[in-house]
Amino acid sequence: MLQSELATPAAAPVLATAAGATRVPARGGLQLYSYFRSSAAYRVRIGLALKGLGYETIPVHLVKDGGQQLGARYRHTNPQALVPALQIGEGGSALTQSLAILEYLDEVYPQPALLPTDALGRARVRAIAQMVACEIHPLNNLRVLKYLTQELGVSAEQKDGWYAHWVALGLQAVEDTLAASPDTGRFCHGDTPSIADCCLVPQVFNARRFHCALDAYPTIIRIVAACEQLPAFQQAAPEAQPDAE
């Protein structure tokens, strides 16, 4: 039997309805497979909270038991063995990939909108979101860092250097994009939070956690500070999660 098959299945659900959430979605409700420190799950938690959607958290511990995401039971929910996954109602398969989930939520629960009404605006927001979610995050994901140290024999110092390198390269590009554009407002695009902000805030949380210098990104820091003042972002924060340690 593979070690992953020995992993304890995801823990029992924890009711984690965001304070102030009043909307009850699909019959059977929404269940989010999440880990408090997962930045991809954090993106979806922000989206759910911005839309005032109540949901149940099903914790998937990414470290305990060799990684509960690797167990056979969770792989049945998400064959990629990554969080998040969003179960909608009873039965049916779970949605995966945070950006796809955010877009689903925006289509089904259009208010408040997480994407602009114009095509150019939507392309800009998606581009900023993907700069984070497709260019920075995958290179610094847990399984990539584990592969560097466990399979390639990279030292902890080299691994930290790798992490900081991709964060710096990626965030500099985001900073330049935001600083150069009149479309940037209080948030990444105008004065309401979008999918871009849902991605940016967790990435900055991660960068801070790994002690990356952020002084070179004043626009990013300003926008993240504005986001962090909103209750939805506070409710979605890692320390506010039922599985926080």
Ligand X SMILES: N[C@@H](CCC(=O)N[C@@H](CS)C(=O)NCC(=O)O)C(=O)O
Nearer to ligand X, 39 or 241 (CB): 39
Q: For ligand X, which residue of 31, 38, 68, 177 counts as binding (CB under 6 A)? A: 38
Nearer to ligand X, 37 or 189 (CB): 37
Helix (H) or strand (E) holding 15: strand 14-15
Q: Does 82 bind ligand X (CB under 6 A)?
A: yes
Q: Does 67 bind ligand X (CB under 6 A)?
A: yes
Q: Does 148 bind ligand X (CB under 6 A)?
A: no
Nearer to ligand X, 141 or 181 (CB): 141
CA dihedral 70, 74, 75, 81 (to 10 degrees): -50
Q: Rounded CA gap, 189 and 182, in Å? A: 9
Q: Rounded CA gap, 29 and 66, in Å? A: 30
Q: How many CB atoms lie within 10 A of CB 240?
A: 16
Q: For ligand X, which residue of 4, 17, 141, 219 counts as binding (CB under 6 A)? A: 141
Contact predicate 154/127, CB 8 Å:
no
- Helix (H) and strand (E) counts for the chain? 10, 5
Q: Does 133 bind ligand X (CB under 6 A)?
A: yes
Nearer to ligand X, 134 or 222 (CB): 134
Task: Classify 87 in phi/psi space as left (phi over 0), alpha (psi -120 to 50) or beta.
Answer: beta
Q: Does 238 bind ligand X (CB under 6 A)?
A: no
Q: Does 49 bind ligand X (CB under 6 A)?
A: no
Nearer to ligand X, 122 or 143 (CB): 143
Q: Does 142 bind ligand X (CB under 6 A)?
A: yes
Q: Does 68 bind ligand X (CB under 6 A)?
A: no
Q: Does 198 bind ligand X (CB under 6 A)?
A: no
Q: Does 140 bind ligand X (CB under 6 A)?
A: no
Q: What are phi and psi of 152, to 5 degrees?
A: -100, -5
Binding part of the chain for ligand X, among 62-70, 159-167, 171-179, 212-220 by CB under 6 A, reads: 62-70
Contact predicate 214/220, CB 8 Å:
yes
Q: Rounded CA gap, 241 and 245, in Å? A: 9
Interface residue list for ligand X (CB under 6 A): 38-40, 62, 67, 69, 82-84, 97-99, 133, 141-143
